[in-house]
Amino acid sequence: MEDWKKSVSSQVRQIKILRLLHALCSFGPNCDRQSDTYIFMSNYVRTIETGIFEMSNDRDHYYDLIEEKIRVFESRRNERRLRRTNRFSVPPQARIIWQQSFSLGVRKHHVDKLIQAILPSCDDPLVLMDPRIAGIYKFARIIESDLFKRTNCSCEYINKVAVMVYSLSKRSLTSLDEMDRLNSLAEISNEEKTQFTQACHAALTVMKRRNEHLSNECPHEKIDQELKLA
């Protein structure tokens, strides 16, 4: 080994590897360093660094080649980011136009779909009209409104609503123990989360009592009375 290679410590080489890695990929400070992606990319840039180290004529040459490779990685990364931005960016005026032309009835239909995904068993009109589950409506409206504001066209909006409906349906309320997971799906205040949790308790209580009454063939008037007491 040439004398100059002995003067480059393993710590210095590791720093160069990390700089290459962060120039190539946007790994954050809290990324999972045990993930397959991180390990694969780390091995990839380590191979590049080793090749540069072996082909360099001296320490300065090694440093220069590393810096050049970092600039190449950063340039390619910026180009990819710019292409993604240009592909999906929509002028604000165009976004306003499609939102203004979108039917409120369709938006309400999507809110209803989100509610059904949250409480699939809550399909009884009597239960859906109960004022105590207003928190669920509010929760669904927050989700729908956020999707509506963040999308660039009607197709993107409809697709994102469909994805959210599917996501919520996989986490639907089959028991009271699952409410905390649902609360984390939307950025809402603690007060709104409390209202949502209370509303879910009320809705599930209503459904339970209604099912008990139906099994006993209870008259409709008694069901209404139980709904008021839930």
Residue for token pair 């008990």: 212
Of 147, 108, 149, 112, nearest to 128 by C-alpha is: 112
| Whole-angstrom distance, CA of residue 88 vs CA of residue 153 | 10
| Whole-angstrom distance, CA of residue 133 vs CA of residue 205 | 11
Which residue range is the domain that position 66 belongs to?
3-88
Q: Tell whether 39 and 134 lie within a shared domain.
A: no
pLDDT in tens, 112-152: 888 888 777 556 565 556 565 666 777 788 888 888 888 88
| Whole-angstrom distance, CA of residue 94 vs CA of residue 106 | 20
Mean pLDDT of the chain: 72
| Whole-angstrom distance, CA of residue 58 vs CA of residue 41 | 27
> Domains in the chain: how many in total?
2
Of the three residues 40, 57, 88, the one that is the final residue of a domain is: 88
Of the three residues 70, 88, 106, the one that is the final residue of a domain is: 88
Of the three residues 46, 69, 88, the one that is the final residue of a domain is: 88
Residue 139 belongs to domain with CATH number? 1.10.246.20
> What pLDDT is recorded for position 137?
77
Q: Tell whether 132 and 219 lie within a shared domain.
A: yes
Note if the pTM is more than 0.75: no
Angle of helix 104-118 relative to helix 154-170, nearest 10 degrees, comes to 20
pLDDT in tens, 28-56: 667 777 887 788 888 888 999 999 999 99
Q: Tell whether 113 and 66 lie within a shared domain.
A: no
| Whole-angstrom distance, CA of residue 78 vs CA of residue 104 | 39
